[in-house]
Chains A and B, each alone.
Chain A
Amino acid sequence: MTGRATGRFPGFDVLGQAPHWDTVTADLVTARTGLPPAPRFFTDAEQACAGALLDQLTGQREEPLGVPVLEMIDARLAASETDGWRYEDLPEDSQAWRDTLGHLDKDAHVRCGTSFAAAPGPDQAALIQAVQDSSEWHGLPAARVWSLWTRYACTALYSHPHAWSEIGFPGPAYPRGYKNAGVGKLEPFEVRDARPAEDPVREKA
């Protein structure tokens, strides 16, 4: 799997387009590439656990993108920036994060005798996979836990220009807009996929 996501859009770097963005957007997006603020919400133990979990979920353990997903999620939770709802059978988001990180550490101790963060990568992966595969996990509906983790993780990862560069998405498009829409058409600043037939779905079929 390593390296499969990278290199499909050779030389494409979204940040090179920043001079063409409106200043409000440009300031917001480029700030994401700066040094992230130190975590305020998670405890030290939670930070270690969440960091390992999020590296796994976002594939950054194998292929680092330099996206500080842990810090981005911590900042959201510290500011109570939720999605505007919670499932009735799950605590509100910040408590749900604390609870589930605690449960992951417990699982790691049972399986490996260590914290989740100190567990070997394959063990971490197996512990995560077990959550995805179960219906109930430590008394919580596992699908809701999975939804919480992946929602926060994906929102952080794919808000980052490094991730946009990896997938060929040029990011903000104002005030410039697009002039060459349509199947197979490119703007001068877009880069064609170097491996267009590499269809992950078909390959796994």
Chain B
Amino acid sequence: MRGVRARNESAWLIPDDGSRTNHRLRRDMRRFDDSDEIDMVIVGCGAGGSVLAQRLARAGWRVAALDAGPFWDPDTDWVSDEAGSHHLYWTEPRVIAGSDPVPMGSNNSGRGVGGSMVHYAGYTPRFHPSDFATYSADGVGADWPLDYADLRPYYAAIEQELPVAGERWPWGDPHGYPYRPHPVGGNGEVFLRGARKLGITAKVGPVAIVNGRFGNRPHCVYRGFCLQGCKVNAKASPLITHIPDALAHGAEVRADAMVTRVVIDERTGRALGVHYVRDGRERFQRARMVAVAGYSIETPRLLLNSACDRFPDGLCNDFDQVGRYLMVQGAPQTAGRFDAEVRMYKAPPPEVSSEEFYETDPARDYKRGFAIQTVSPLPITWAEHVAAQGHWGGSLREYMSDYVHWSCLGALCEFLPLPENRVTLAQEKDSLGLPVARFSYSQCDNDRALIKAARTVMEDILHAAGADEVITIERYAHLVGGARMAAGERHGVVDRNCRSFAVPNLYITDGSVLPTQGSANPALTIMAVAARAADHLTGTT
């Protein structure tokens, strides 16, 4: 992995003394004045914003990346505990609506440096080549203004930087991973056994969890709390994969800084910088360019809250595209009961996946498909499964006491991008007096057909593995879209390089630019898209 260190030294900038944070690097971090016209101010330090900051800093740009949340120290800020991890999520108010409202918070929304990748499971599959032209091929979804080949080198680069562990991947564009697959626990074992019986290919990985040592990041200890922030530094998040290198190359990370508004010069139509609130004070950071990377809810909300004379309906919203085509994946989870003890909490929840059902199958009455993965909920989340079956009181307790006997699989169904699934502003205000996001979601027939099909496959796999009973809970996972890239301004907000159509020095470099989502967990693709945008900005492509 020598090549990786030469282009991203993050893993070697972490201390090797058993602590998780390089405090000196943070203390000595370059700090810009609000009045400095820096080269780029980035809004959000998640998957997209952090990669952009690291790439631009390496190219010598003067960059500050602002995040509404804290600059985490895994040793002191994170716990090996579900309820105690509440502060990792975006818990400012949001209103959910539509015929199928999507819960937010722990389900899909991060806060603080590292973003949602602090509490994502760790799955990092690539999109398939077919994902980039679903409209041409199947008449559903949308075609991207770029294709898989444009992203392939960025996928490979990021997979080395995280780094990703897994078996050789046979689906989509077949490829290998830099680290060998992890050993599996009880839940992975059940999935592999059931799939084998049915002739369904399932593979171990792909997870951005160190298998072996990587720089000064240690091996995973299999404690099962990946979704609560990795105290080990084994699971990748930008906090440890990109931010340290960004700081070492002169970027500033300004935590606890909530950006409230992007300011446009009404005369030139160019972005001038961002208003933000820090320590209760309103401030303004000047910048030559602005990149918004607040993810699919906060990015559209910020654009809408940045309305001005030139953009009365919200920044970049001349064609009513901001906030639209927001997607979640249908993520039903099916659990199976075994007389043997599975104890699914004793391994990272992300272990094994199958993309056998990812592509459109002409024999089916629906388009596109789904992926199946192990999920391994901890007790509070497991209680949600049990309560969803209608149990309460003594019955809830009795079912819960059976926890060690259950195995649990989750599906990611490719819900289609629909214009009415969108973010708008609610009447309600947050603690800063800004209108909060209202997120409306309603499924279409194809979405419902996918959930049904995925549920059947999961039930079949668990039965084949020997489960005597199965239960299913319907839920959602991930967010993408809301400010999508498109071939032209009437169909999206940014171009193929993440530059907004409306404001020439305004970029959006997060999951909200994705026009479709496949059945893949989005983190790797968000990072790859941001890395590609950075190359465009620095003139490398």
Contacts and interface: CB of A to CB of B under 8 A. Distances in A.
Interface of A: 1-2, 4-6, 8, 21-22, 24-25, 28-29, 56-59, 61-63, 81-89, 92, 125, 128, 132, 150-151, 154-159, 163-164, 166-169, 171-187, 190, 192-193, 196-202, 205
Given A22-B75, A164-B379, 19 more contacts: A1-B398, A5-B394, A29-B81, A62-B394, A83-B104, A83-B105, A83-B106, A85-B95, A86-B93, A87-B95, A132-B390, A150-B387, A157-B383, A167-B401, A168-B401, A168-B404, A172-B225, A173-B223, A201-B469
Contacts of B397: 4-5, 58-59, 63, 166
Contacts of B471: 201
Contact of A183 (B223, B338, B402): B338
B79 A28 contact: yes
B83 A159 contact: yes
A196 B106 contact: no
Contact of B383 (A5, A158, A192): A158
Interface string B178-211: 0000011110011000000000000000000000
Contacts of A175: 221, 231-232
Given A57-B392, A86-B96, A183-B189, A202 B469 contact: yes
Interface of B: 75-76, 78-84, 86, 89-97, 101, 103-106, 109, 183-186, 189-190, 220-225, 231-232, 337-343, 345-347, 378-380, 382-384, 387, 390, 392-405, 438, 468-469, 471
A150 B339 contact: no
A181 B340 contact: no
A199 B339 contact: yes
A59 B400 CA distance: 11
Nearest to B84: A28
A183 B104 CA distance: 33
A4 B398 contact: yes
Give the 3 A-B residue pairs with the shortest CB-CB distance, closest first.
A177-B221, A84-B105, A181-B185
Contacts of B106: 83-84
Contacts of B346: 178, 180-181, 187
B93 A82 contact: yes
Contact of A154 (B97, B189, B383): B383
B367 to A, nearest CB: 30
A25 B392 contact: no
Contact of A173 (B80, B86, B95, B101): B80
A150 B392 contact: yes
A24 B83 contact: no
Contacts of A89: 97
A155 to B, nearest CB: 5
A88 B80 contact: no
Contacts of A6: 401
A100 B224 CA distance: 36
A174 B79 CA distance: 9
Contacts of A21: 80
A132 B404 CA distance: 28
Contact of B223 (A92, A169, A177): A177
Nearest to B92: A84
24 contacts: A1-B394, A4-B401, A5-B394, A24-B76, A25-B81, A62-B394, A63-B397, A82-B91, A84-B93, A87-B95, A88-B95, A157-B383, A158-B383, A169-B345, A169-B404, A171-B81, A173-B223, A174-B225, A180-B346, A184-B341, A197-B339, A200-B395, A200-B398, A205-B469
A200 B223 contact: no
A69 to B, nearest CB: 12
B178 to A, nearest CB: 23
A8 B403 CA distance: 11
Contacts of B76: 24
Contact of B190 (A84, A179, A183): A183
A178 B222 contact: yes
Contact of B89 (A63, A84, A193): A84
B80 A200 contact: no
A77 B80 CA distance: 23
A87 B96 contact: yes
Contacts of B78: 24
Nearest to B465: A183
A85 to B, nearest CB: 4
A177 to B, nearest CB: 3
Contacts of A177: 220-223, 232
A89 B80 CA distance: 35
Contacts of B232: 174-175, 177
Contacts of A151: 384
A194 to B, nearest CB: 11
A22 B231 contact: yes
